[in-house]
Amino acid sequence: MTLNRLNLTLAIALVLVLGLLKLARVDYSRPNYQVNLGDDMAVSPAYSPFEANENFANGRTMQSPVPGTIARGTQQFHFEATPADAIRAGEELVNPFDRSTEAGAASIERGKDVFQFFCTACHGGDGSGNGPVAKRGFPPPPSLLTGKTLPMKDGQLLHILTFGQNSMPSFAAQLPPDRRWDVINFIRSLQQQAKLQAKKPPANTEPSAPAEEVDTEPKP
Ligand code: HEC
C-alpha cells in the first residue's frame, strides 16, 4: 500500500467514524439500551397501590402507618378523649407559634380563614356563639370570648379541637395539627380584641373632653 492510498483510506475511515458518532448521538435524558434477560432485578414487577397483594396478611398493597406513627415535623399527641386528659394536654402541650412574632401573626391570619370556614356556622363570626346553626335549634355554643374558654390553656383547646367536647365535633379529620393551632391563635386574638373593647368606657358616659383647637393651617 502506498503512502497515498493509506492516507486516503485513513481519511475515509475518519469521515466514517465521525459520521457514525453523529448518527449515534447519546441522549442522556433516556436510559441506555438494555438487554432484558428476564431478570427481575432489572425490571421489577411493581404492584399498583390499589391492587390485591397476597404478600400481606390483609391482602392489600397500600398499608396504613403502624399505630402510633408520628409524621415528621408534627407533635406527639398522647392523650385520650377524657376531660382529665384535656387538662393534662393544657399542661403538657406547647403552642408551636409565638403570637408576638411575625410567624405568630401569620398563624393568626391563617386561623382567621380556618375560623371563617369551620367554626362560624356555630360559634358566629365574632366567636360569641350566635352562628346560624345555633339560631336554628342546635345547642348554642358558649361564647369563646368570655367564660370557660378564656382561662383554658392552648393545649386544652387543641384537645377540644382534636377530640371534640359534648356537642362540639372533632376537627381532627378536617384540620391538621398546625391549622388547629392557627385557629386557636385566632381565637386568642379575638379574645384580646374583646378585652380591649371591654376596657373602653361606653361612649355616652365618657367625660366630654374639651374640644381641642385643630390647627389646619399649613405650617411654614
Ligand atoms: C356544629 C357546631 C360547632 C362547630 C362547627 C364548632 N363548634 Fe365549637 N362548640 C360547639 C358547641 C355546641 C360547644 C359546647 C360544647 C359543650 O357543651 O361542652 C363548643 C365548644 C367549643 C369550645 C370550648 C368552649 C368552652 O367554653 O368549653 C371551643 C374552644 C370551640 N368550641 C372551638 C371551636 C372551633 C375553633 C371551631 C372551628 C374549628 C368550632 N368550635 C366549631 C359547636 C360547634
Q: Write the single-letter amino acid at 6.
A: L
* 69-97 residue pLDDT tens: 888 877 778 899 999 999 999 999 999 99
Full DSSP string of 102-171: HHHHHHHHHHHHHHHHHTHHHH-TTSSS--HHHHTTSPPPPPSSSGGGTTS-HHHHHHHHHH-BTTBPP-
Residues in the chain: 220
Residue located nearest, by CA, to atom 33 of ligand 1: 119
**Ligand 1 binding pocket mutation candidate from 95, 112, 117, 123 (most atoms within 8 A of CB):** 123
Q: Report the atom number in ligand 1 closest to the C-alpha of 143.
A: 26
Q: Report the atom number in ligand 1 closest to the C-alpha of 157.
A: 29
**Angstrom distance (rounded) from CA 89 to CA 168:** 18
pLDDT at 169: 94
pLDDT at 59: 95
Full DSSP string of 33-56: P----S-TTTS--PPPTTSB-TTS
Q: Report the atom number in ligand 1 closest to the C-alpha of 149.
A: 26
Using alpha carbons, select from 123, 109, 107, 108 the residue that is nearest to residue 169: 123
* 157-212 residue pLDDT tens: 999 999 999 999 999 989 999 999 999 999 999 999 998 888 877 666 555 555 55
pLDDT band for position 56 (cuts 50, 70, 90): very high
Q: Write the single-letter amino acid at 161.
A: L
Ligand 1 geometric centre to CA of 123 (Å): 7
Residue located nearest, by CA, to atom 16 of ligand 1: 166
Backbone φ and ψ for 168, nearest 5 degrees, come out as -85, 120
Q: Which cell numbers in the block locate residue 15?
A: 469521515
Q: Which domains does the chain show, CATH number per domain?
A: 83-198 (1.10.760.10)
Burial 19-32 (b: 16+ CB within 10 A, else e): eeeeeeeeeeeeee
Instruction: Give me the percent of the chain exceeding a pLDDT of 70.
Output: 87
pLDDT band for position 31 (cuts 50, 70, 90): confident
